[in-house]
Chains A and B, each alone.
Chain A
Amino acid sequence: MRADTVVTGMGVVAPTGLGHAEHWAGTLRGASAIGPVTRFDAGRYPSRLAGEVASFVPEDHLPSRLLPQTDHMTRMALVASDWALADAGVDPGRLPEYGVGVVTAASAGGFEFGHRELQNLWRHGPQHVSAYQSFAWFYAVNTGQISIRHGLRGPAGALVTDQAGGLDALGQARRQLRRGQPMVLAGAVDGSPCPWGWVAHVSTGRMSEEPDPARAYRPFDTEAGGYVPGEGGALLVLESEEAARARGAARRYGRLAGYAATFDPPPGSGRPPNLLRAARAALDDADLRPGEVDVVFADAAGTPEEDAIEAEALRTLFGPRGVPVTAPKTMTGRLSAGGPALDVATALLALREGVIPPTVNIARPLPEHTLDLVTAPRRTPLATALILARGHGGFNSALVVTGPRRPGRATTPQRQESKPS
């Protein structure tokens, strides 16, 4: 039988708050953190809004030794890792030597750092490039820095599938737990609100150019006009139930019950997109039927075409208005790989509290979508949540979490799998 993957700790660094308590409180209030970019002068770009983690001051949380060698998003990731391990009550020094792995997802790496070094190189010459450039930009930087900070010597991983990576990292961690790893710290903290990163976002043509923060990112709305980027994310402490019990873990936020990833056919192929199939496969993996899902955390791309694909997938799977759907990321913007990881944390908190957090700024949901879009906090018993994510280029991922109120379906027959003794 397959071991249960439980979530025993979380570290959240989000535009909506530092730490999961502040994030949850802000999210329930519907307090959008989208505002004018402050980290650089965005005046010369067509899009000028972002979801920044305004209250994050790296010096308050990290030793000065780490600051010169890290991009801003790595600093946030390191702090999220501190909080996740503390929340789980873990002292890594007391765990088995190779007992803790790290898997993170990245999108563009330490891009702000990389931009600065490109400037040093092209303006001043090769002797002006920092020794830290050799790793501060690269996509594996958060995994490496986190493992060093906490002495985590288990398997390491880093995935790049744009936003879908936030779920893919958790799926990869779950695979490692099934192979006998007791604990994995996994998720994503990401985002590049920096000048060169902004040029990349603008180039997609899908960024919102609306200057009003309350109108800029409105997925599923009749006036959906693109997305707003942001920064932040979440890291989760994942354990096999067996390992969590053995160390006397204080709490379970819930279980990662199912996961699947699919890829879209090329544009113009005439074949349908595969988000629906990812959702179905994740439910199959969790051994759950669509009717057992209590809430969906949508990808909520924010462009009419992509929203339509997601709405159709949800309609096919659950029927018209068949399941409550929410997108709290309307308060944070899209945090690259960090967004879906944060959605998983938010979903687990929602299950625990029995409240669906709202999708904000949706004045007129597009009726054709036939979605039960939750636009004000909705109190209801919640046992199961489905989280969806898509990445640029065709990546689809889906993840199912079940809450502590549903102690699990451990007696349900699982996919046949034998273990050698």
Chain B
Amino acid sequence: MRTATHRRAVITGIGIVAPGAIGAKPFWDLLVSGRTATRTITSFDAAPYRSRMAAECDFDPVAEGLTPRQIRRMDRAAQFAVVAAREGIEDSGIDRGALDGARIGVVLGSAVGCTTSLENEYAVVSDSGARWLVDHSYAVPHLFDYFVPGSIAAEVAHDRIGAEGPVSLVSTGCTSGLDAVGRAADLIEEGEADVMVAGATEAPISPITVACFDAIKATSPDNDRPSEASRPFDRTRRGFVLGEGAAVFVLEEREHALRRGAEVYAEIAGFASRSNAFHMTGLRPDGVEMAEAIRVALAEARTDPSAIDYVNAHGSGTRQNDRHETAAFKRSLGAHAHRTPISSIKSMIGHSLGAIGSLEIAACALAIRHDAIPPTANLREPDPECDLDYVPLEARSLPVENVLTVGSGFGGFQSAMVLSGPGARGGSAA
């Protein structure tokens, strides 16, 4: 059980690189505005593709303080992660000099790692595919860092925080961002670290990724209206819109944070993951495994479904996901599923695969901080099969203490996390 060790993990810093918003404050402003950041792809010519839209980050690595050397070395996903981690560390107010590096760890999540750089390098060594192999020495000297994306976690560990404890990259597809933070909380609770820099990053908007989602028709083909293309829970939804970005947190053992007078956003109160063991890309309509993950996460948090003030949905906007998830909410939350507000921020910032779970945790932590919840944009014609309160179009102000966030990913992974406000669970172990 999560409470077994009496050590508890809390969020004390948040850093964000998101479409339409670099930084935690602009990110929250975007989410509550209900504006969308989905647009026609600008990073390459997507004309030959079925889905030609994405939620891109207007990210200038120089303006964000990365050195030319770092920019050359790091994949865009690593750049996002480092920039978000810097903001998160600064936001936490943690004094690195007062800490032992051995007690600091890093867990980053990413589904597809450094795919963009690998594809670029493939094009270089193959003369854009014309012949294999032109010359292996044309590849960048740090190609191996792209080949094995554990390098992303390594970059964050070395950059500011100087972590010498457990460092890893979690890659469980589209639940990576939830699973990475869940793992980091575990490591703190079990005493393997006092401080974890944890979160997730993804920069998947490259031809190969766009093409593979085209091939399974998972992404929206509504290219003529990109800003309205991501329509979770809407009757007219036609798939997800690819996104990119990063959210990186400072997680601390609760007493550690309180001792130094840190401001706590939220506690990671419960986390669980399950597999549907069904299909690499498909979902059973009944949502049983996601419901089970939710049930276990709530039990770990010792939280009754009725205490959940807000649910951050996976809400990818594919036909089958939104039905699957609606069923899972009803199964796990019972009557409260109809009472609690539920929204999908993918309607605004797209689906950034491995990163989105952490961006959604950030949205939850900020919802607790601001007592407000972001809406589901573009939800104009609710799907009768998705008959819960999916908070169409406009943010709501309401007291938010306990929040549930869920994720679902290729490979059959289903994850759920419960976050609780700093005042929600009291000072001693429950």
Interface positions, chain A 171-197, Cβ under 8 Å from B, are 172, 175, 178-180, 195-197
With contact pairs A107-B148, A160-B169, A203-B139 given, residues A102 and B275 touching in the complex (Cβ less than 8 Å): yes
Contact A156 B413 (CB under 8 A): yes
With a cutoff of 8 Å between Cβ atoms, the chain A residues found around residue B179 in the complex are 157
* Dominant SS among interface residues on chain A: mixed
A419 at the interface (CB under 8 A from B): yes
| Residue in chain B with minimal CB distance to A125 | B48
B112 at the interface (CB under 8 A from A): yes
A201 at the interface (CB under 8 A from B): yes
B-contacting 9-mer, from A19-27, A243-251, A263-271, A356-364: A263-271
A168 at the interface (CB under 8 A from B): yes
Chain A nearest CB from B213 CB (Å) reads 6
A417 at the interface (CB under 8 A from B): yes
With a cutoff of 8 Å between Cβ atoms, the chain B residues found around residue A145 in the complex are 280, 411
With a cutoff of 8 Å between Cβ atoms, the chain B residues found around residue A197 in the complex are 147
A-contacting 9-mer, from B61-69, B119-127, B304-312: B119-127
Contact B169 A144 (CB under 8 A): no
A-contacting 9-mer, from B28-36, B203-211, B245-253, B379-387: B203-211
A158 at the interface (CB under 8 A from B): yes
With a cutoff of 8 Å between Cβ atoms, the chain B residues found around residue A395 in the complex are 150, 154, 167-168
The residue among B113, B128, B136 with the most chain A CB atoms within 10 A of its own CB is: B136
Contact A160 B149 (CB under 8 A): yes
With contact pairs A138-B111, A156-B411 given, residues A393 and B208 touching in the complex (Cβ less than 8 Å): no
Contact B275 A152 (CB under 8 A): yes
Interface positions, chain B 135-178, Cβ under 8 Å from A, are 136, 139-151, 153-154, 157-158, 162-173, 176
The residue among A140, A145, A203 with the most chain B CB atoms within 10 A of its own CB is: A140
A38 at the interface (CB under 8 A from B): no
Interface positions, chain B 197-255, Cβ under 8 Å from A, are 207-208, 210-216, 218
B319 at the interface (CB under 8 A from A): no
With a cutoff of 8 Å between Cβ atoms, the chain B residues found around residue A137 in the complex are 112
Chain A nearest CB from B32 CB (Å) reads 33
Interface positions, chain A 100-144, Cβ under 8 Å from B, are 101-102, 106-109, 111, 114-115, 117-119, 121-123, 125-126, 129-131, 133-135, 137-141, 143-144
Contact A154 B275 (CB under 8 A): yes
Chain B nearest CB from A66 CB (Å) reads 10
A126 CA to B215 CA, complexed, in Å: 8
With contact pairs A148-B277, A179-B1, A262-B166 given, residues A162 and B150 touching in the complex (Cβ less than 8 Å): yes
Contact B411 A135 (CB under 8 A): yes
A107 CA to B145 CA, complexed, in Å: 11
With contact pairs A44-B133, A123-B130 given, residues A393 and B150 touching in the complex (Cβ less than 8 Å): yes
With contact pairs A201-B144, A393-B154 given, residues A130 and B413 touching in the complex (Cβ less than 8 Å): no
With a cutoff of 8 Å between Cβ atoms, the chain B residues found around residue A419 in the complex are 1, 4
**By the criterion of a CB under 8 Å from any partner CB, how many residues of chain B are at the interface?**
91
With a cutoff of 8 Å between Cβ atoms, the chain B residues found around residue A394 in the complex are 154, 157-158, 167
A109 CA to B149 CA, complexed, in Å: 10
A356 CA to B257 CA, complexed, in Å: 48
With contact pairs A44-B133, A392-B150, A420-B1 given, residues A265 and B101 touching in the complex (Cβ less than 8 Å): yes
Contact B411 A141 (CB under 8 A): yes
Contact B274 A161 (CB under 8 A): no
B272 at the interface (CB under 8 A from A): yes
Contact A153 B277 (CB under 8 A): yes
Contact A391 B273 (CB under 8 A): no
B340 at the interface (CB under 8 A from A): no
Contact B167 A261 (CB under 8 A): yes
With contact pairs A153-B277, A160-B171 given, residues A119 and B132 touching in the complex (Cβ less than 8 Å): yes
B5 at the interface (CB under 8 A from A): yes
Chain A nearest CB from B254 CB (Å) reads 17
With a cutoff of 8 Å between Cβ atoms, the chain A residues found around residue B101 in the complex are 265
Contact A180 B410 (CB under 8 A): no
Chain A nearest CB from B248 CB (Å) reads 16
A93 CA to B146 CA, complexed, in Å: 39
A139 CA to B292 CA, complexed, in Å: 24
Chain A nearest CB from B410 CB (Å) reads 5
Of A98, A108, A158, A201, which contacts B274 at CB under 8 A? A98
With contact pairs A123-B130, A148-B412, A203-B140 given, residues A160 and B275 touching in the complex (Cβ less than 8 Å): no
Of A45, A126, A172, A417, which contacts B210 at CB under 8 A? A126
| Residue in chain A with minimal CB distance to B210 | A126
A10 CA to B186 CA, complexed, in Å: 27
Given contacts A131-B212, A175-B190, A392-B151, 9 further A-B contacts (CB under 8 A): A107-B148, A108-B147, A126-B48, A144-B413, A153-B292, A160-B149, A195-B132, A395-B150, A419-B4
Q: Pick the 7 closest A-B CB pairs, nearest first.
A: A122-B129, A144-B411, A139-B171, A200-B147, A393-B154, A263-B167, A133-B212
What is A's interface to B at a CB cutoff of 8 Å?
44-45, 69, 98, 101-102, 106-109, 111, 114-115, 117-119, 121-123, 125-126, 129-131, 133-135, 137-141, 143-145, 147-148, 150-162, 165, 168, 172, 175, 178-180, 195-205, 260-266, 271, 274, 277, 336, 391-395, 415, 417-420
CB pairs A–B below 8 angstroms (21 shown): A129-B212, A133-B211, A133-B215, A140-B176, A141-B280, A144-B413, A145-B280, A148-B277, A150-B277, A156-B275, A160-B150, A160-B171, A203-B136, A261-B167, A262-B166, A263-B106, A265-B158, A265-B164, A277-B102, A418-B4, A420-B4
